[in-house]
Structures are given as structure tokens and as C-alpha cells.
Amino acid sequence: MRVQPKPTAVTDDVPSWRLTTKRAKAETVAIFAGFALYAAFALKLLLFSRVPGSERSINLIPFASIAKYAFSHSPGTERVAFANVVGNILIFIPLGVYASWLRHRAAAWLTMLTVASVSVAVEIIQGVFAVGASDIDDVILNCVGGLIGILALWLLSAILHERSRIRTAMAGLSLLSMPVWCYFLFIIRLRM
């Protein structure tokens, strides 16, 4: 009678974190580094680019600011409107992507709730410290950006299927974005 060796398998007594590869760890570090640089830039842009006490206004009427931009015919308004509307969307797209990746097991609406909560917190801080206009339209536009980010990661997941491939893609995107975040964070002066 011949005894065949047992195939090696992951056993329950070995913690799963010990089974991760060096590559997976490096990719995870790259993702968290990209997220940290993005978060630092977002904080700089949203909270620290204005002198405290320089601006305090509150708008709680949905779409009032957007309508004002859309129907204003004064010179220079188009540029400010474009920067405000598109900027508020663009700044929250990475948050939607990173929040989706970090909370991959959470329902999309919970991730969206996280994005909305961050946006509301930023608007409250801007109002309290008078470092920007607290505007419900900013929250709406930020949520649109977060939703675009969530959908982008959902699309990436649908294309790549495996969690390890998604992590590799996220790490690559994070590495590519790091010079951009560093440029915006350390080189560009953001005094508004």
C-alpha cells in the first residue's frame, strides 16, 4: 500500500495575513500612500487654502448656487462657475474610488453615505471657521463626484473580476497619481 502525500493547502491555523505576498503588501502600501497624499491635498484645498475668517456664507437651498452660475451673464462668471462646479465634482472622485476599495464588502449606498458625510463635515468646518462658503450645492456636487468614483471602481471590478487584479490596478493608479498629488500639495500655492 502506497501512501500519497497530502496536497498542501491553506490551513485554518495559519493566519491569512501571513499568507499575503510581498507584492500584495507593496501594492497595499502604494494604495494607502496614494490615498494619504490625496487626503492631504484635499484638506489643503478645502480647509487650509483660505485665511480663517476670510469668508463665511451659508446656502441651504439646493441648486441655488448652480442656478446663479447658469443664469448669470456677468463677465468672468463662466470661469468661476466652471471651476466651482467641475472642481467640486473632481475633488471627490478619488474619495469615491478609495472609499469603495477600502470598504469593498460594504454596500454601495454605505460607501456613498461615507462620501456624503465627509462632504457635509467639510462644509460644516468651512462654515464654523469661515474658510469658505458652506453650500448645499457643494455637497450635491461632491456626492456626484463620489458616485462617479464608486462607479469607476465598480466598472474596474467588473472588468478585472479578481480582488488581486483590482488591487494591482489600484496600486498602479495610486503610483501614477502620487506625483500629481505631490505637485498640488507641495508646489502649487493655493491661496484663494
Grid cell, residue 179, equals 506625483
Identify the bridge partners of residue 131 per DSSP, sorted by sequence position: 55
Output the tens digit of pLDDT for each of the chain's 192 residues. Answer: 555 555 555 445 545 555 478 889 999 999 999 999 999 999 999 988 877 777 778 888 999 988 888 887 777 778 888 888 999 999 999 999 999 998 888 889 999 999 999 999 999 999 888 888 889 999 999 999 999 999 999 999 999 989 889 999 999 999 999 999 999 988 887 655
For the chain, the structural domain boundaries read 23-187
Phi/psi at 33 (nearest 5 deg)?
A: -65, -45
Q: Cell numbers of 122, please?
A: 467639510
**Cα-trace Rg, the chain:** 21
Backbone angles phi, psi at 189, to 5 degrees: -90, 125
Residue spans of alpha helices (H) in 56-130: 64-71, 77-90, 93-102, 108-129
Q: What was the pLDDT predicted at 190?
A: 67
Contact 111, 99 (CB under 8 A): yes
In this structure, are residues 94 and 142 in contact, taking their beta carbons and an 8 Å threshold? no
pLDDT in tens, 112-152: 999 999 999 999 999 888 888 889 999 999 999 999 999 99
Q: Which three cell numbers stand for residue 40?
A: 492631504
